[in-house]
Chains A and B, each alone.
Chain A
Amino acid sequence: MSDKWPAILNAVKAEVSEMAFESYFTNLKYVSCENDTLTISAPSVFLQTQIDKKYRGIVIDAANSCGLPCSDLNVIVKSTESQKSTVIKRGAYEIRPDNAPQTISTSYTPPSTAPRMAPSGNITTYAGVKRFTTTDNGLNKKYRLDNYIVGSNNDVAVNAALSVIENPGTRYNPLFIYGGPGLGKTHLIQAIGNEILERNPQMKVLYVTIEQFYHDFVEAMRKKIEGFTEKYRNVDVLIVDDFQGIVGKEKSQDEFFHTFNELDQHNKQVIVSSDRRADQIATVDERLASRLMQGIPIDIQMPDFEVRCAIIKMKADIAHQDIDDASVEYIAGLGCRNIRELEGVLNQVFLRADLRNKTVAEVIKEDFADTTQLAPAQRQASIQPKKLVEKVAKYYGLTSDDLFGTCRVKNINTARQISWYLMSEELKMSTVKIGSEFSKDHTTIMSGLKKIRGSIKTDFSLREQISELREQLYA
C-alpha cells in the first residue's frame, strides 16, 4: 500500500499552496492503512499538529481519490533523528552507563522501522545506461548504511556521512571521500544517497560515475540533446563516483565545475569520491580542486584486522554461510589488499564449501597447503632494486645517480630514505643488503628507515606519496 503514498502526496500538492506543501508534507511517512484509518508519521509534534488540525480533510480526500479508501487519519510522531548511537573511540574515557565493552566496530542501524518507500524516480534518463536493480537515480539499493561496517579506518567518513544525511547541503559541502580501490567508497556514498531518499522521498538524488557524466556530456554536445543541464543541475543531491576518471577531459571538467558551482550556490549537496585527493589528481584545474577540497576531504583507509573480521562475518551472514571464528581470523589475516580482494577470497571459499558440501573450516583446512591459490597474488620482489630506485627518483624529479650519490640536500635525502623504506617493506631486503646497494653502513639505513616509519604516522602527504609509489611499483 505504501506505493500509493507518493501519489497521495501529489494529490495533496494540487490542493495546498506550494509553500505549505514544502513545509509540512515533505517529511511525512506512510505507516499503515488498516480498519479504514490511514496512519502516517511526522517527525515532530509540531508537524503532527499541522497535519492533524489543518490538513486532515485534504489528506483523507487525497487518499480516497488515489484508491486508498479510509475515513479517518491518524498522525503519529516518529523522530527521524538516529536513536541508536554509534560508538566511536575518543581520547577520553567515556561515561558508559551500561558498561558495554568498547567495541571497535559497530554497524549503524537506521532507526526507522517504517516501510521503505520507492523513491519517486522522475529524473529523465536519456543517455544513462540502466543497470541491474538500479533505479532511475543510479543508486543501487543493496548499498545501505546498516550493512556498512564502521571501524577506525572509516569512522570519520561515516560520521560526516551521517551529518550529511541529517542536513544535506549544509555543513559538509562538498563531501569528498577518497581512498584506495575496493575500500568501500562507492558503498558509503551510495548508502548516503539511499538513506537521504528514505528520509526525504521528495528529494532528487542522482548518482553517476564520472564516466557517465562525461558520456552524457559528450552525447548532449554531439546530438544537441536538451536536458543535460536539467538532469544534473536540477537535483538536491548529486553523487559523483570515481572522480579521478576526469583526467584529460578538459571540457567535462569545465562543465563539472559549473555544475558544482550551481549546486553549491543553491545549497544542494554534492558528494564526490576519488582514489586520491582532488589536488593530487594531475590535470585537474586548480580552481576545481580547491573547490572540491573546500568542504571536507576525508580518507578511507584499509580496515584493520578486527574490522576485516567484522566484514567477513557480515558477508558470511549475507551469503547464509556458517563460518567459525578461526576461519574468520585466518581469512582476515591473508593479506588481502582491499575489501574487494577479501570478497573474492570469501566467494571462492564459499563456493568450494557449497560444491563439496563441507563447512568453511574444512575447506580451509583442506586447502591450507594450497595457501597461494587461495590468497590473492602475492605482490613481491618482482622488481629489481635498481629499477625501484629509478622509479622513486623519477617520481621526485631526480635521477638514480642523485639517490645513489652522497648529496645530503634535504629532498634528495628524503627520496633516498623512501627508496630504502620501499626496499625494506616491498622487496623484504635486509638493511645490510640495502646498505651495500647504496655503499652505506647498515646502521645508516636503519636510522633512515626509523625516520620514515616515524614520520609516516604523522605526515599525511608522505603517506600518500609512498602509497602512490607503491602502486607504481606494481603497475
Chain B
Amino acid sequence: MEVEILQDKLAKALNAVSRVAASTKAGLPILVNVLLRADDNQLTLTATNMELATVEHVDAKVAKTGTITVPAKLLAEFVSNLPKEPVTIKTTGDKMTISAGKYKSTINGILADDFPELPKIDVEKAVGFKINVDIFKEALNEVIIAASNDTTRPALTGVYFNTFEQALYIAATDGYRLADKRFVEDVQSEIKAIVPASTLQEVLRLVSDSAQEVEVQISDSLICFKMGDVEVTSKLIDASFPDYRLLIPKNTVLNLELDKAELQRMTKVAALFARASGGSIVCEALADSNTFSVSAVASELGENTATMEVEVSEDEKVALNSRYLLDALGAAKDNKILFGISSKLEPVVIRNAQTNDYTHIIMPLKS
C-alpha cells in the first residue's frame, strides 16, 4: 500500500474512528487497531468494538492499493501532531511507515486478514429514511437523556425506534423518567428497534457539519447511519421495550403554562439546597394565591423557596428529583412549557407549549 494524503484530512478521519477502537474492552486484541484500506483514490478507515463499527472514507492519492491494521490511538495521536503537509503512508508486510516532512515513524501493525469482517445491512430487507441533520440531532438529544445505564436491564439502555399510527417515534426511559419524540412522519413500514444509547452518542459526536442529511437504515438486527463520508453500523439491543405509551397519562388534572427559563432558574437554585436530600425538590401550585413555587429543604444548610405567578385552578403538590427536571427542561425547546400535575403519586408531564411532538414524564419521589 502506498498512499499520499493531506494531514488535516487524515487527522480528522482518524479522530472520528479511533474513539470506537480505543474504547475497546480488554480481551479482543485486534480491536484496538484501525483498518486502513487504500483503493480507487480513496483511503477507508474502519474501527469496531464488535458492537458498533465506524467507517470513514477520505480522498487520497493511491499509488498502490493495499490494507493494514495499526493501533488506532497511536496513529491518531501521531498524525494529529504532524505539520500540515501531505502525509505518505507505505506498508511492507505488517509494518507501516508514515512520513510527513521531517517526521517519519514505523508502526508495527497486524495483517488485515485478522480484522473482523463487518456485518452489512441487507438493504432489501431494511427500512430506510433520510432526515435533516439538525432535526436529527435535536430529536436524539431530547430523548437520549432519559436512557438508563443500568446494564441489568438492557432494554432500557437504548433508544426505542418504533412506529405508531404511520409515524416513527423515538423513546427512552430509565424507569424513573421517559422521553418520547415524534421523529419522522409518514412511515409506512413497521419499525421496532432498540438502538444502544452509546451508539447514538457516538453518532451525535460524528454528525459532521458538512453533511446535510443523515441516512438511516434499520434491519432486524442492525442499524446503520450514513452521514457524508462517515458510516456507523451498530447492533440493536435484543430485548423487548416496555409498552411505554400506557405510562403517559392521557390528561392531567392541573396544566400550567410556565416560562421555561424562569423555571430552570428556580430549579437550579432549589437544587443547591436539595443536594443533601438526594436532589428532592417540591413543586407546589396554589390556587388561592395563583402561584407556583419550587422549594427545597436541607436540614443543615437551610431552605429555599422561589415563587412565580401563574394562573392556577387547583392546589397540587409533587416532589421531584431536581436533576431529572433540569434535564427535561434542558431538552424542551420552546420558551414556554406545559407542566402537568395530577397528584403527588402520579407522573408529571412536561411538553412544549407550541409544538406537541415531544413528551417528557418524570415519576415523583416518595416524600
Contact = CB atoms under 8 A, between A and B. Distances in A.
Given A44-B51, A46-B235, A97-B244, A54 B117 contact: yes
Contact of A95 (B27, B176, B237): B176
B123 interface: no
B364 A93 contact: yes
A355 interface: no
A97 B176 CA distance: 12
Nearest to B242: A97
B27 A22 contact: yes
Interface in B235-253: 235, 237-239, 242-244, 246-247
Interface in A7-25: 17, 19-20, 22-24
B51 A167 contact: no
B270 to A, nearest CB: 17
A4 to B, nearest CB: 25
Interface string A43-64: 0111111100110000000000
B242 A23 contact: no
A92 B25 CA distance: 33
Interface stretch (B6-14, B97-105, B151-159): B151-159
A73 interface: no
A166 interface: yes
A160 to B, nearest CB: 11
A159 to B, nearest CB: 7
A104 interface: no
B354 to A, nearest CB: 27
Interface in B321-367: 321, 345, 347, 363-366
A49 B154 contact: no
A23 B116 contact: yes
B246 A45 contact: no
Contacts of A24: 116
Contact of A166 (B110, B151, B175, B366): B151
B154 A82 contact: yes
Given A22-B28, A45-B119, A91-B366, A159 B345 contact: no
Given A44-B51, A50-B116, A53-B117, A92 B242 contact: no
Contacts of A47: 50
Given A45-B221, A86-B152, A97-B247, A92 B116 contact: no
A46 B363 contact: no
A390 B260 CA distance: 66
Contacts of B168: none
B29 interface: yes
A162 B151 CA distance: 9
A91 B27 contact: no
B30 interface: yes
Given A23-B31, A94-B363, A46 B239 contact: no
Contact of A48 (B26, B119, B237, B364): B119
A229 interface: no
Given A49-B119, A77-B238, A82 B363 contact: no
B175 A45 contact: no
A97 B242 CA distance: 6
A81 B114 contact: no
B278 interface: yes
Interface string B248-277: 000000000000000000000000000000
B308 interface: no
Contacts of A91: 278, 365-366
Interface string B1-39: 000000000000000000000000111111100000000
B76 interface: no
Given A17-B114, A50-B116, A92-B365, A45 B152 contact: no
A199 to B, nearest CB: 13
Given A44-B51, A92-B366, A162-B152, A97 B243 contact: yes
Contacts of A267: 26
Interface string A365-382: 000000000000000000
A167 to B, nearest CB: 7
B153 to A, nearest CB: 4
B175 A23 contact: no
Contact of B154 (A83, A93, A97): A83
A17 B238 CA distance: 30
A166 B155 CA distance: 16
Contacts of A163: 151
Nearest to B50: A46
B244 A19 contact: no
Interface string A135-172: 00000000000000000000000010011001100100
B255 to A, nearest CB: 21
A439 interface: no
A49 B116 contact: yes
Contacts of A19: 29-30, 110, 114
B118 interface: yes
Contacts of B246: 97
Contacts of A77: 221, 238
Contacts of B155: 83, 85
Contacts of A44: 50-51, 235
Nearest to B365: A92
Contacts of B133: none
B153 A49 contact: no
B54 interface: no
Most buried by B among A22, A46, A91: A46
B30 A94 contact: no
A94 B118 CA distance: 39
Contacts of B244: 97
Contacts of B31: 23
Contacts of B154: 79, 81-83
Contacts of A85: 152-153, 155
Give the top 7 A-B pairs by smallest Cβ distance, nearest first.
A97-B242, A49-B119, A85-B153, A46-B50, A79-B238, A81-B154, A23-B28
Interface of A: 17, 19-20, 22-24, 26, 44-50, 53-54, 77-79, 81-83, 85-86, 91-95, 97-98, 159, 162-163, 166-167, 170, 267
29 contacts: A19-B114, A22-B27, A22-B29, A23-B29, A23-B31, A44-B50, A44-B235, A45-B222, A45-B235, A46-B51, A46-B119, A47-B50, A48-B119, A49-B118, A77-B221, A79-B238, A82-B152, A83-B239, A85-B152, A85-B153, A86-B152, A93-B363, A93-B365, A95-B173, A95-B178, A95-B242, A95-B363, A97-B242, A97-B243
Given A46-B53, A91-B278, 16 more contacts: A22-B27, A44-B51, A44-B235, A45-B235, A46-B50, A50-B117, A79-B239, A81-B239, A92-B364, A92-B365, A94-B176, A95-B173, A95-B176, A95-B347, A97-B243, A98-B242
